[in-house]
Amino acid sequence: MLFDKIIFGPIKSRRLGTSLGVNLLPDDCKLCNFDCIYCECGFNFTKPNSHLPQRDEIKKALAEKLLEFARKNEHIDTITFAGNGEPTMHPQFADIIDDVVNLRDTLCPKAKVSVLSNATLIHKPKVFASLQKIDNNILKLDSAIEETIRIVNQPVTNFSLADTIEHLKRFEGNIIVQTLFFKGNYNGVAIDNTSDIEVEAWLEALKKIKPRSVMIYTLDRPTPAKDLYKADEKRLQEISAMVENLGIKTQING
Q: Which residues bind ligand SF4 (CB under 6 A)?
A: 32, 34-36, 39, 41, 85-86, 118
Q: Which is nearer to ligand SF4, 49 or 157 (CB)?
A: 157
Residue 32 CB, nearest distance to ligand SF4 (Å)?
A: 3
Q: 188, 197, 254, 179: which is closest to 225 by C-alpha? A: 188
Written as one letter, the residue type at 63 is A
Q: Which is nearer to ligand SF4, 16 or 103 (CB)?
A: 16
Residue 224 CB, nearest distance to ligand SF4 (Å)?
A: 9
**Distance of alpha carbon 31 from its chain centroid, rounded?**
14
Q: 25, 4, 6: which is closest to 85 by C-alpha? A: 25
Residue 241 CB, nearest distance to ligand SF4 (Å)?
A: 26
CA atoms within 13 A on the CB side of 141: 34
- Give CA–CA dist 28/84, Å, rounded: 9
Residue 235 CB, nearest distance to ligand SF4 (Å)?
A: 21
Q: 86, 84, 81: which is closest to 30 by C-alpha? A: 84
Q: Which is nearer to ligand SF4, 41 or 96 (CB)?
A: 41
CB-CB contact of 22 with 83 (8 Å): yes
Q: Which is nearer to ligand SF4, 35 or 146 (CB)?
A: 35
Strands 17-23 and 7-13: antiparallel
Q: Which is nearer to ligand SF4, 69 or 186 (CB)?
A: 186
Residue 21 CB, nearest distance to ligand SF4 (Å)?
A: 13
